[in-house]
Amino acid sequence: MPSIGHAEHSWSPNYRRHMDENHSNGVTNEDMAINLLQTQMELSLIREDFQDQLCELRQAVNRHLDAMNLEVDDVRAAYVKMVFKDNTRKKLMSCVGIVGVVCASVVTYLVFK
């Protein structure tokens, strides 16, 4: 069954009046068909252009996200390095402190023995 809006629906009173108005304005069925085809072609081109722009936008967003992820990785690496560096320093200071306490204890023991 043809859909509403096609020329096969000449039974509609509005269709007959619309066609009569178009013919009185000098617009023929062929002119309307040509205009419809041109509009469909323009819409197709617009859709393609939109899809191309959307693809470019996605690529740009992905590039920016990749760059941001690299920066985050750099920050994480620097943080890990800093934490391990600080832990090494803390461990060294703890060892020096323990050695100092042990030495002081030994000296005290030897002196007061």
The 10 Å CB-count burial string (b at 16+, else e) for 51-88 is: eeeeeeeeeeeeeeeeeeeeeeeeeeeeeeeeeeeeee
Residue ranges of domains in the chain: 13-111
Quickly state the pLDDT bin for 2 (edges 50, 70, 90).
Answer: very low
pTM over 0.85: no
The answer to whether residues 10 and 16 touch, using CB atoms and an 8 Å cutoff, is yes
What is the average per-residue pLDDT within 33-45?
92
Range of weakest confidence among 38-42, 54-58, 105-109: 105-109
Quickly state the pLDDT bin for 86 (edges 50, 70, 90).
Answer: low
